[in-house]
Amino acid sequence: MLLIRPIESADYEALYSCAVESGHGFTSLPVDQALLERRIARAKQAFTKKDVVTPGDESYLFVMEDTESGEIAGVSGIEAAVGLTEAFWHYRLGKAVHHSEKLNIYNSLETLTLCNDYTGVSELCTLFLREPYRHSMNGRTLSRFRMLFLAQFKQRFSDWVIAEMRGVSDENGDSPFWQWLEQHFFSMDFPKADYLSGVGDKTFIAELMPRFPIYTALLSDEARAVIGKVHDNTRPALRLLEAEGLRFRGFVDIFDAGPTVEAEVCNLKSVRNSRLVPVEIVARLPEQGLEPHIVCNTQLEHFRAAQLMCQPGAETLQVTAEQAQHLQLEQGDDARIVAM
């Protein structure tokens, strides 16, 4: 079974491997020991914090573990509320109209304006599945289980959720959008800027970023062409989020211009369609009529989730004793489920 659980200190080496494998532009997984250890510590604190009634600086980080081999297949996270302890920057796409009635000239020009509009919203982040496990809807499970966590612990999160998508960059980590910014405003390459942001050293953004709206017509053709576009490796993750109901509303990353998608939590497909059902432990599951579901328990510190074959629409969740043990479920417990 591929079991999703809260990250532990012992998972550091696997998390570091995921950071290395994720490559350039994956800001939330920089190859930095101190930062990764801090992320694990923050997650452990969040999962043990009992008295949360409104979203704060909690950071929930999960791993997908192969229970047979003990290998970590991937990682996935949720930030409860971004921008509360340090500024959370985006560019907002807008319009500036230049009109002269006397000369009969009308020009509507696209602009990029630096903003902090997403301050306080929750963020789906740090989704990475290792290459050997990219099959059997494992990526979908690693992304969608977070919607069940949002539904189960809604008081811990904002009413709105976002996800930042990695923008276009080449195999060397060079971003066409950043190359234009670097030429005119910075003196560092994209990997360095991305790394500094990932480790939390963001003061250079406020110090060096252009403070006034940028007309996109002034950008290079290469930079303008990638605004709101995603990295090829990110397309599957974007499709999954779009299927949940997240949409691009004109906010892009300040480094690579990748799109940020957003949705109201209550309108997410898996939140709407998930339901709580009592657990029934059985000796053997039916051989027919089963369909893949995402199943999780309702615990916080000992949260567990997995993809299981279940009877669609059933009033109870039938699981074997082994499945129940992995998911830390007992007879009569409530479990939250959603069909794949």
If phi > 0 it is left, if psi is from -120 to 50 it is alpha, else beta; for residue 40 that is alpha
Catalytic, out of 24, 90, 231, 326: 231
What gap in Å lies between CA 211 and CA 329, rounded to an integer?
Answer: 53
Q: How many of the other CB atoms lie within 10 Å of CB of 281? A: 18
Contacts of 213 (CB under 8 A, 6+ apart): 94, 96, 111, 112, 113
- Concatenated DSSP letters of 189-209: -HHHHHHHHHTT--HHHHHHS
Pairing of strands 275-281, 214-215: unpaired
Report in angstroms the alpha-carbon separations of 218 from 150, 184, 215, 230, 329.
41, 11, 6, 22, 58
**How crowded is the C-beta side of 228, counted as CA atoms within 13 Å?**
14
Which of the 8 DSSP states describes residue 340? -
Nearest to 175 by CA among 252, 114, 76: 252
Which of the 8 DSSP states describes residue 72? E
Active site residue 24: no
Residues with a catalytic annotation lie at 231
